[in-house]
């Protein structure tokens, strides 16, 4: 799995009718015998605010944190903006894209990318004669 070069933090991207500034979330990637697990730091993003897609051999992660509102107040100064998180990874053919799963908890997105059967490590039993 490779990070795309044109996917750097702070870039703008065109979204249908407007341009938005987005930032790339920090990620940790772990490989196991049966697949890869990707953890992405996306504070303030809930399950309804994140989208994970696999398209043309790429894993695309997008999320938008919801602004914090304090009941009975009005904003005097804000720096928390509706910033889009976005990150794109190129998937190897070892990943079974049809079985990718995701979940989010406490602002950490977990994406499980199972290996295709033919890519899994196979142990061969050696018999003595």
Q: What is the pLDDT of residues 2-24, one digit of tens each?
A: 555 445 455 544 445 556 778 89
Give the model's confidence band at 44: pLDDT under 50 very low, under 70 low, under 90 confident, else very high.
confident
Q: E strands along the chain, which residues?
A: 2-3, 12-15, 18-23, 27-32, 35-41, 50-55, 58-63, 84-90, 101-105, 108-114
**84-90 and 58-63: which strand pairing?**
antiparallel
For residue 81, count other CB atoms closer than 10 A to its CB: 9
Hey, where are the domains in the chain? 2-67+82-118
Can you give the pTM of this predicted structure? 0.73
**Is the CATH code 2.70.70.10 the one for domain 2-67+82-118?**
no
Phi, psi dihedrals of residue 48, rounded to the nearest 5°: -80, -10
What pLDDT, in 10s, does the model give residues 80-128?
666 789 999 999 888 999 999 999 999 999 999 999 887 667 788 899 8
What pLDDT, in 10s, does the model give residues 50-88?
999 999 999 999 998 887 778 999 888 877 666 789 999
Nearest C-alpha neighbor of 52 from the set 99, 107, 102, 122? 102
- Residue 30 pLDDT: 97
């Amino acid at each position: 799995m490779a990070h795309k070069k044109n996917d750097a933090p702070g870039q703008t991207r065109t979204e249908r009718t407007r341009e938005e500034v987005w930032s790339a979330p920090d990620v940790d990637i772990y490989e196991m015998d049966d697949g890869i697990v990707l953890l992405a730091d996306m504070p303030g993003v809930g399950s309804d605010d994140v989208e994970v897609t696999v398209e043309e051999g790429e894993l695309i992660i997008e999320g938008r944190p919801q602004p914090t509102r304090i009941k009975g107040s009005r904003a005097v100064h804000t720096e928390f903006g509706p910033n889009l998180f976005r990150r794109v990874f190129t998937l190897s053919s070892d990943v079974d894209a049809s079985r990718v799963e995701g979940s989010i908890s406490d602002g950490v997105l977990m994406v499980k990318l199972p290996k295709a059967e033919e890519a899994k490590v196979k142990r061969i039993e050696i018999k003595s004669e």
